[in-house]
Chain A
Amino acid sequence: MIHDFDTHYWLARTPDGWISAEDHASYEPAFQRADKIRIEPLSLQSIQAILCCDVPPGYVAFLRTDIHQDVETGKIARLGYILAIERGEWQDPGKVAIGGFQMDGADKLTTWDGLPIIDGFRAELCTWNGQVAFESSHNFSFDVSHENGIDMYKFCTR
């Protein structure tokens, strides 16, 4: 589902073709068959960053939207997109509370505080400052490239 407040959306490549947040939810079984995932900007007004990764066999992907909502106004003050990969099996990955990154006093994400990183990675695109937070086990890393005005973050196994 793409909301009015969204600035980015996800796409996933499954054996039946690409699916996206436009007409799917990431808790659907189809998403768990994906071997490639991307989070892309919805418009030129969005932070121009793409997150992408392959989902190796034996790993599970989790997508979460991290929302900070102002009680006084109801407005979304901060919006982040979390992409997580972890080795193992979960009965219903879309219902796992995976947590999120902690923040420092300057609203910058710091350390991961949630589903333990045993064999995988956690990444979050912070739309309020353009930062991409990343933590992983030793066997994952990421590359950043700049292509056509967009920062491309590729998360991969070493």
Chain B
Amino acid sequence: MSVGISRYYGAGPTRVDITSVGLKHKAYDSYEFNAEHPIPKPSSGSKHSFWATIALYSDVLTEIYSDPKIYGGGVPSVPSPNPNAYVAWTGANLYIGDETSDVYVQATGTNDDSGDEIVANHDQVTAKTDFLATYTSLNMKTVGLPYGVTSLGPLESPARISKYVFFQYTVGTTCLAGSSVPCTIYFRYSVTS
């Protein structure tokens, strides 16, 4: 019984708990944390991940939730030593849709090439912001509870306890081949328990 992070993918959508899995960005609509379906380096312009849809999810039936927010730990540096051969975030950006929503929209694009750009193709998103450069502990982004309520709970059954949040990873011509240094993303929320 806990609050976890869920990722939503596919047409359904299918929900998967990515707590302890992580959030991987690929040129494919999948949650799996592996090296398959990488985003190719563009010869010009940009290429995108398929957008990722995440939310807080709880199966605790005795609590009341409020004030969900999200923020990051800044653009990470390459660690030293670097046993996993991570590469810097040169030419790479993690964007967050300015809107959060209760409406799920399946990610689209061309497998193993590029996801469709989120602002132009996601029905719920009209603008995007560089997440790691903008939203930090000093400036958290309000996510909101489902359907605009100000508090939620006690739940009658396990449920999503935040609106959907939409991320897209974008690479340009100067990006480096390999896996970017993992960044840190936090959900912040309040519990009446």
Beta-carbon contact of A3 and B193 below 8 Å: yes
* Stretch of A47-55, A63-71, A139-147, A149-157 with 4 or more beta carbons under 8 angstroms from chain B: A63-71
Beta-carbon contact of B191 and A65 below 8 Å: yes
Interface size of A by Cβ–Cβ distance < 8 Å? 35
Q: How many residue pairs at the A-B interface have CB separations less than 8 Å? A: 107
Q: Answer whether residue B86 sits at the interface, using C-beta atoms and an 8 A cutoff.
A: no
Q: Answer whether residue B150 sits at the interface, using C-beta atoms and an 8 A cutoff.
A: yes
| Shortest Cβ distance from residue B158 to the other chain A in the assembled complex, whole angstroms | 16
Beta-carbon contact of B64 and A95 below 8 Å: yes
Residues of A within 8 A of B138 (CB): 102-105
* Stretch of A11-19, A35-43, A72-80 with 4 or more beta carbons under 8 angstroms from chain B: A72-80
Residue of B nearest to A6 (CB): B193
Beta-carbon contact of A70 and B192 below 8 Å: no
A73-B20 contact given A1-B193, A25-B192, A68-B187, CB 8 Å threshold = yes
Q: Answer whether residue A7 sits at the interface, using C-beta atoms and an 8 A cutoff.
A: no
Interface residues of B (CB under 8 A from A): 2-5, 18-20, 22-23, 54, 56, 60, 62-64, 66-67, 136-138, 150-151, 154, 182, 184-193
Q: Which 6 A-B pairs have the closest CB atoms?
A: A74-B19, A97-B66, A71-B185, A103-B137, A95-B151, A65-B191
